[in-house]
Structure 1
Amino acid sequence: MSKIKLPSDRLWPRASALFKPNLKKADIALVGVPAHKSSISPTSAHLTPKAIREALAKYSSYAGSKDIDLRGVNFTDLGDITNPDGAEGKKRVNKKLAGVLDNYQTLVALGGDNSITFSVASALFPDLSRVGVVTLDAHHDLRDGMSNGSPVWRLIQAGLPGKNIVQIGISDFANSREYTQRALEQGIYIISRDQLRRQSMKDAMKEAFSVLNRRVDEIFVDLDVDVCDRSVVPACPASVPGGISADELRQAAFYAGANSKVRAVDITEIDVKKDSPDQRTIRLAALLVLEFAAGVASR
């Protein structure tokens, strides 16, 4: 099936045109990390980075409510990391991302499944002792082993202090008592989905950064899209009914970008083959890229 050609209007610049390939310096660098082989449930998440890039063409570069035009931000696209799964894939991630934050103010990593939270964060920050991690996720991701359910536990094992982790959106019936106990034993700060029914996302992000600011120098944010309600993210196999709204996750992405300590975010757990005909999940992911960029522009 041929793609529908989008209309051209010089007064309506498309967000996809913002990204220039392989610039040496930029405010925001984009990289695809199409990991999928260690996923607990079968997934085609390796196809998602390409789909997100294509969806960027559906949006403009202007955030009118904030009067932010992203044409004032320097973007680059570093392409995809080939075969990022497993031990050999981790080496390729390390090679691609080692020292990348010396040249780029921030990084957006497009998953891929949630295993990339470990591979990307550990590649960017070889010393995790002064790094903070904020997860927007329905799950703790503290499982044993190597899977998309274990990235936070693997980061802890690699030296990330549990007290440097804040988890937002943890859902009932999506985690076991045992892994919840593990989170508490490690000192992880939890803002549950239930708490978000009484607290705005702006306040939740403010609380998360307040917890971390005294302890860390740099912050990594995991935007696991399955934190959203299943009706709005049909391409997220592990999402649950009653998750947060698409708008709340967009807000989280903006506030992540606005915090000067945040150096990188990932966008994970989308299986493009399972998306609805209107591509609502992929389109949300593209908006997360733009919301984060608007936050960076507001610094």
Structure 2
Amino acid sequence: MALSHDPLWPRAGAWPAFEGTADAVLLGVPTWRTSLSPTGAHATPAAIREALPRYGTTVLGPPTIDLDEVLRIADAGDVPEPDGDAGEARTIERVRELADASDLVIALGGDNSLTYPVALGARATGLITFDAHFDLRDGVSNGTPVRRLVEDVPTAAGVPTARIDPTRIVQIGLADFANSAAYARRAADWGIRVVTLDDVRRRGIADVVAEAVEIAGAGDAARVHLDIDVDVC
């Protein structure tokens, strides 16, 4: 269905290609090949871009702000074949390039395996996840990125890595019946701050996020990677 056109109602998504510098940059990272369950996650960046024009660019505030008037937003396209050692290396390099030329990189997955190379590319020193799962499994998959960031496991291709102190990781929204006791113990042993879904309901999201930013953003020149996982059933 064609969308209506109103010159007084600008739509999201019609952002220019990235060319050297921007305030915020979109980057598609269509990971999917190592997913632990059947997935079409590689189609997600394109689906998000297709949906964006259904939204506007205005934040009501107060004050009312049109994001396109105060920010230079660009789209850097997709990382080609981001899975595997070579794909992770490409993702790290591209994210690093964009992070050095902008204030915010928004990586559109893909499954959760993208968290590892994107955090490395952004030189993240802290991590906040919004996810029902710990992602602390062994191996390499969409269930392992948080463990990989903590353990700093190099790959055969020599992908550059950077350790994230687990005491600067906050995991928000962990759910009952969606995890194992072993991984809950692993998170506790490593000092990861875990905020369950029940905790969020009880405390409220504003209080939880304030604590998360304080923990993940501690220290000088902190760079925090925010990971939001949406599971579609």
Give RMSD over aligned pairs.
1.3
Task: Measure how far apart 1:10 and its partner are.
Answer: 0.4
2:190 equivalent in structure 1: 186
Q: Is the 8 A contact 1:164 1:215 kept in 2?
A: no
How much has 1:116 moved relative to structure 2?
0.2
Q: Distance in 1 between matches of 2:96 and 2:173?
A: 30
Identical counterparts, % of pairs: 42
2:29 and 2:108 in contact (8 A); partners too: yes
Structure 1 position 106 matched with structure 2 position 101: no
Matched, 1:83 2:88: no
Q: List alignment gaps of at least 5 residues for structure 1.
A: 227-235, 238-299
Distance 1:70 1:197 in 2: 30
Task: Give 2:133's aligned residue.
Answer: 139
Partner of 1:34: 30
Q: Tell me, which stretches of 5 or more residues in structure 2 are unaligned?
A: 153-162
Taking the TM superposition and a 5 Å limit, the aligned residue runs for 1:40-119 are: 40-66=36-62, 67-71=64-68, 72-119=70-117
Deviation at 1:152, TM superposition (A): 0.2
Residues 171 and 195, structure 2, Cα contact 8 Å, conserved in 1: yes
Q: Tell me, yes or no, if structure 1 residue 149 matches structure 2 residue 143.
A: yes
* Secondary structure at 1:32 match in 2: strand
Amino acid corresponding to residue 203 of structure 1 in structure 2: D
Of 179-188 and 213-222, more deviation after overlay is shown by 213-222
1:97 Cα shift? 2.1
Matches of 1:213 and 1:150 in 2, distance apart?
22
> In the TM superposition, what are the counterparts of 1:260-271 in structure 2 within 5 Å?
none
The amino acid across from 2:213 in the alignment is F
Paired AA for residue 223 in structure 1:
I
Deviation string 1:102-122 (CA, Å, 9 cap, x unpaired) is 211110000000000001111
TM-score (norm 1): 0.71
Instruction: Determine the structure 1 residue equivalent to 2:180.
Output: 176
Letter of the 1:218 counterpart:
R
**2:174–2:194 CA contact under 8 A, matched in 1:** yes
Q: Cα–Cα, structure 1 residues 215 and 175, in superposed 2: closer, same or farther, change >3 Å?
A: farther
Counterpart amino acid of residue 133 in structure 1: L
Q: Which residue matches 2:157? A: none
Residue 25 of structure 1 is matched in structure 2 by 21
Residue 204 (1) aligns with residue 225 (2)? no
Q: Report the Cα distance in structure 2 between the residues aligned to 1:13 and 1:37, rounded to whole angstroms.
A: 37
Determine if contact 2:58/2:66 at 8 Å carries over to the other structure. yes
Partners of 2:219 and 2:93 in 1: how far apart? 28
Quickly say closer, same or farther: Cα 1:16–1:143, change in 2 above 3 A.
Answer: same
Distance in 2 between residues matched to 1:134 and 1:97, nearest whole Å: 18
Alpha-carbon displacement from aligned partner over 1:15-52 (angstroms, at most 9, x marks no partner): 122x1102211110000000001110010010010110
* TM-aligned CA distance change 1:214 to 1:124, over 3 Å: closer
